């Protein structure tokens, strides 16, 4: 009988105190690890970047292996806003409303050149980057970005989530950042 070699890498436990039959760590590290592996994305896709996102959700790339299998189309049930594609200025207030309806903690990824900077559409009707109306945590460049780039953006968000302290959202710096966007 053949032995099957596996390339499965077992993730190390968060730093803590270990011994036979017990493991101790800080609550902050456990919550960070749980949040990192249970992201509920809300896709806000308007054009070709949305098609690349669909490919990312398919079997070949499989976003589900990163803990993001359940897409949410309700802002009240999502914690990651993924803005993909061209955002017209008339859509800005809607995008902002969706962001404000999300519960804390919430994160934002700008996917593609149009969401990051307006892309090739340097016109009066296109928003020149969504960071003018909502704070962005990770930018994924490309026109449109490949599914591998979108997965890289998800992994960057996961790193940020895992390392974020539980009290960051209550800090004066975070409140000042939201105040610059007019968000309370």
Q: DSSP letters of 58-103? A: STTT-GGGGT--S--SSGGG-SEEEEES--BGGGHHHHHHHHHHSP
What is the CA 57 to chain-centroid distance, rounded?
Answer: 14
Count the Cβ atoms, other than its own, within 10 Å of residue 169.
13
- Residue identified by tokens 């404000």 is 100
Q: What is the pTM of this model?
A: 0.82
Per-residue pLDDT, 1 = 47
If you search the block for the tokens 């966007």, which residue do you land on?
A: 181
Among the ranges given (34-38, 67-71, 144-148), the one the predictor scored with the smallest mean pLDDT = 67-71
pLDDT, tens digit, for every residue of 92-143? 999 999 999 998 899 999 999 999 998 888 889 999 999 999 999 999 999 8
The chain-wide mean pLDDT, for the chain, equals: 86
Q: What is the pLDDT of residue 21?
A: 67
Checking if the pLDDT of 3 tops 70, the result is no
Q: Which pLDDT value is given to residue 139?
A: 96
């Amino acid at each position: 009988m053949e032995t099957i070699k596996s390339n499965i890498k077992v993730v190390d436990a968060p730093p803590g105190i270990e011994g036979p039959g017990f493991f101790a760590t800080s609550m902050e590290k456990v919550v960070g690890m749980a949040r990192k592996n249970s992201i509920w994305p809300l896709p806000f896709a308007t054009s070709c970047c949305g098609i690349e996102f669909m490919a990312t959700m398919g079997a070949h790339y499989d976003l589900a292996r990163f803990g993001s299998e359940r897409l949410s189309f309700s802002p009240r049930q999502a914690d990651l806003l993924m803005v993909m594609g061209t955002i017209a200025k008339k859509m800005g207030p809607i995008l902002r409303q969706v962001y404000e309806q999300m519960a804390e903690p919430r994160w934002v990824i700008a996917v593609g050149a149009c969401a990051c900077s307006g892309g090739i559409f340097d016109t009066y009707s296109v928003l020149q980057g969504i960071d003018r109306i909502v704070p962005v945590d990770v930018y994924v460049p490309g026109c449109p970005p490949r599914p591998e780039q979108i997965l890289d953006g998800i992994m960057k968000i996961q790193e940020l989530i895992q390392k974020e302290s539980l009290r960051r959202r209550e800090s004066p710096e975070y409140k000042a950042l939201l105040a610059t966007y007019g968000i309370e």
